Amino acid sequence: LLTLLFLDYLGTFAFAVSGALKAVRRRMDLFGMIVLAVVTAIGGGTIRDVMVGQRPFWLTDANYILLALLAVAAVFLLYRLISSGETALLWFDAVGLGAFTVIGASRAMDHGVGLVGTVALACLSGVGGGMIRDVLAGDVPVVLRKEVYASASILGAILFWLLKRWGVMPEVSVPVATGVVTAVRLVSLHYGFGLPRLEARKGNHE
Amino acid sequence: LLTLLFLDYLGTFAFAVSGALKAVRRRMDLFGMIVLAVVTAIGGGTIRDVMVGQRPFWLTDANYILLALLAVAAVFLLYRLISSGETALLWFDAVGLGAFTVIGASRAMDHGVGLVGTVALACLSGVGGGMIRDVLAGDVPVVLRKEVYASASILGAILFWLLKRWGVMPEVSVPVATGVVTAVRLVSLHYGFGLPRLEARKGNHE
Amino acid sequence: LLTLLFLDYLGTFAFAVSGALKAVRRRMDLFGMIVLAVVTAIGGGTIRDVMVGQRPFWLTDANYILLALLAVAAVFLLYRLISSGETALLWFDAVGLGAFTVIGASRAMDHGVGLVGTVALACLSGVGGGMIRDVLAGDVPVVLRKEVYASASILGAILFWLLKRWGVMPEVSVPVATGVVTAVRLVSLHYGFGLPRLEARKGNHE
């Protein structure tokens, strides 16, 4: 599927950029940037492939890792120019979240997994790389903080599952579901949407 | 095995509750609670299944993830009522540790693994979910701190291995080994048992 | 291959020692030492085996875990004697990095993986255990900090790939590639080599 492959490469590049930028912020050097960019870009898909019993995609197609290295080179060379690039990064990241969610859902359904398992695997594919990135950098993963991130992924996975069940062709369902995840993530970022949160009682902290 | 399945569901629920409570303490929102509860509940068993080359259990039986979502709903709705629920949580968690340890040991022996590998895999199954929960929340895992936790799991795995070797029926060995892990964990909690610890020399900290 | 197996055991022991020492520094008790030593020693190879679809090595050969326990016993008993053991540890760690890198590269090539995938898998094998050790102990992994560590592994993986392509026998290529990784790591430690690093702009920290 040409569209899916294009989105996959775009998501890989975007997540690699986010990993490289995180490394710069944590004052890591060039190889820290490379390691963090690569694990961010391939982390989610690797978890997905291991779960369904496939060899990780980057062992058979070297383009993914080369693309991540390209992203590091771009960040290294263009860092001073992208001072207003935060917005661009969030757009890229949102597209990557959408693409990886849909690819994960598609792969799970190919292996005969039901709705709940498909949603869980799609969500893990979408957010896994960013989780590893944040944990390695010593942060609490963004997906656990007060933002619509995993929820956009879950919504898109359910939508893709329904569309495929209804017999909608992948040429339509893939871009639609990817677009919905991306749009929900971006709209919620713009308006600062969040979900309800419990107040921890005093003295209840570990 | 009905007993084992029941213990498995109970352990899943307990670990999901512990993940959801940890999310509340870290001031995460509802989706943070869901993500942390689900990964805590399915983390250990996922590692176990991947190690022995099986598809993760939650891809074939959706009940585990639904149970984790139920646990999140319970915590969200009943949070104000369980002010004295810490003790109940520790009981649940200890039962989960026991159940997941025994299931891990049983699965390893089914695949022809020896004593040392069985103990390691059982321990990883029992403590893996909690490890992931603590790392994602930004804490050093409870299993590494000064408590009898991994040691209870190791003891129970050795016991289960011996019982199975001696030809004891699973109807007996499963509840006995689970009970021993749970009891050792709870008794050590009650009396504050710990293991010896070396004093790091001054100036030796990284 | 006798040489490779010997290096593998040596690397396992060295990484286990590094995990046990880290546990002491973080004021963990004996079982914290055991858990951290074992995951450090088997982490990288476990990732490697899961990626290529093999059962983890420690499920079939119990010696690796026993060796890690031996390392913990050695640290526990000899801790006061190794006040000048930091240097020895760095030597051991560098040898382990070399051995695990070369074993990872060799395993990847046995499974028909290309250059880029081989280098990525070799690097992950070499640095994976230490990454898990540092994350569990609450630190940012050493491999991401300002040191020649992953780069030594990457260099050695490329060298091993070339040597094997050129038809050099493993009796030669294995010790040579291992030696190069170890030497590059130790020389860079001695002279304090590092790689260029970008200055994060003010106000750009998350």
- Span A193-203, pLDDT tens digits: 655 666 655 44
pLDDT > 70 fraction of chain B, expressed in percent and rounded: 86
Q: How far apart are CA B127 and CA B153, in angstroms?
A: 8
CB atoms within 10 A of CB C64: 25
Closest CA to C73 of C28, C16, C22, C10: C16
What is the distance in angstroms between the CA of the first residue and the CA of the last residue of chain C? 49
What is residue C28's predicted lDDT score, i.e. its pLDDT? 84
User: Is residue A141 classed exposed, middle or buried when 0-12, 13-18 and 19+ CB atoms within 10 A define those classes?
Assistant: buried
C205 or B73: whose pLDDT is higher? B73
Over residues B39-44, the mean pLDDT reads 93
What is residue A203's predicted lDDT score, i.e. its pLDDT? 45
B21 or C121: whose pLDDT is higher? C121
Whole-number mean pLDDT of chain A? Answer: 85
Is a pLDDT exceeding 80 seen at residue B119?
A: yes
Q: How far apart are CA B172 and CA B162, in angstroms?
A: 13
Closest CA to A7 of A185, A190, A187, A170: A170
Residues of A in contact with B83 (CB under 8 A): 201
Is a pLDDT exceeding 70 seen at residue A129?
A: yes
Over residues A4-19, the mean pLDDT reads 86
Question: What are the tens digits of pLDDT across the range B45-60?
Answer: 999 999 988 889 999 8
**What is the ipTM for the molecules in this complex?**
0.82
pLDDT > 70 fraction of chain A, expressed in percent and rounded: 86
pTM score over 0.95: no
Q: Which amino acid is at B103?
A: I
Is a pLDDT exceeding 80 seen at residue B87?
A: no
Is a pLDDT exceeding 70 seen at residue B181?
A: yes
Question: What are the tens digits of pLDDT across the range C36-88?
Answer: 999 999 999 999 999 988 889 999 899 999 999 999 999 888 877 665 556 66
Q: How far apart are CA B129 and CA A157, in angstroms?
A: 24
Which residue on chain A is closest to C205 by alpha carbon? A25
Q: What secondary structure letter does DSSP report for B79?
A: G
Q: How far, in Å, are A131, B16, B69 from residue A40 at the CA level?
A: 8, 26, 27
Per-residue confidence at A145, pLDDT binned at 50, 70, 90? confident
User: Which of B30, B36, B60 is facing A195, going by the closest CB pair?
Assistant: B30
Over residues A62-67, the mean pLDDT reads 94
b/e map of C116-131 (b: 16 or more CB within 10 Å)? bbbbbbbbbbbbbbbb
Q: Write down the residue that tokens 């992948």 correspond to.
A: A170
Q: Write down the residue that tokens 């046995």 correspond to.
A: C110
What is residue B86's predicted lDDT score, i.e. its pLDDT? 64
Q: What secondary structure letter does DSSP report for B111?
A: T
Do the chains contact at C143 and A46, CB–CB below 8 Å?
A: no
Helix (H) or strand (E) holding A109: helix A86-110
What is residue B3's predicted lDDT score, i.e. its pLDDT? 73
Residues belonging to chain A with any Cβ–Cβ distance to chain B shorter than 8 Å: 50-53, 108, 111, 113-117, 120-121, 127, 131, 135, 139-141, 143-146, 148-151, 194-198, 200-201, 204-206
What is residue C203's predicted lDDT score, i.e. its pLDDT? 45
Is a pLDDT exceeding 70 seen at residue B152?
A: yes
Question: What are the tens digits of pLDDT across the range C152-191?
Answer: 999 999 999 999 999 998 888 988 999 999 999 988 887 7
Over residues A38-47, the mean pLDDT reads 93
Q: How far apart are CA B157 and CA B170, in angstroms?
A: 14
Per-residue confidence at C205, pLDDT binned at 50, 70, 90? very low
What is residue C83's predicted lDDT score, i.e. its pLDDT? 57
Is a pLDDT exceeding 80 seen at residue A9?
A: yes
Per-residue confidence at B36, pLDDT binned at 50, 70, 90? very high
Q: How far, in Å, are A44, A61, A200, B154 from residue B28 at the CA level?
A: 22, 37, 10, 33
What is residue A124's predicted lDDT score, i.e. its pLDDT? 92
DSSP assignment of A52-107: TT---HHHH-THHHHHHHHHHHHHHHHGGG-TTTHHHHHHHHHHHHHHHHHHHHHH
Is a pLDDT exceeding 60 seen at residue A83?
A: no
Residues of A in contact with C197 (CB under 8 A): 27-30
CB atoms within 10 A of CB A77: 9
Alpha-helical runs (H) found in B79-191: 86-110, 115-136, 150-165, 170-191
Contacts of C63 (CB under 8 A, 6+ apart): C9
User: Which of C50, C197, C201 is facing A28, going by the closest CB pair?
Assistant: C197
Question: What are the tens digits of pLDDT across the range C101-114?
Answer: 999 999 999 988 99
Closest CA to C32 of B108, B132, B127: B127
**Helices and strands of chain A, counted as H and E runs:** 8, 0
Over residues C115-130, the mean pLDDT reads 93
Do the chains contact at C65 and B120, CB–CB below 8 Å?
A: yes
What is residue A193's predicted lDDT score, i.e. its pLDDT? 64
Do the chains contact at A23 and C205, CB–CB below 8 Å?
A: no
What is residue C102's predicted lDDT score, i.e. its pLDDT? 93
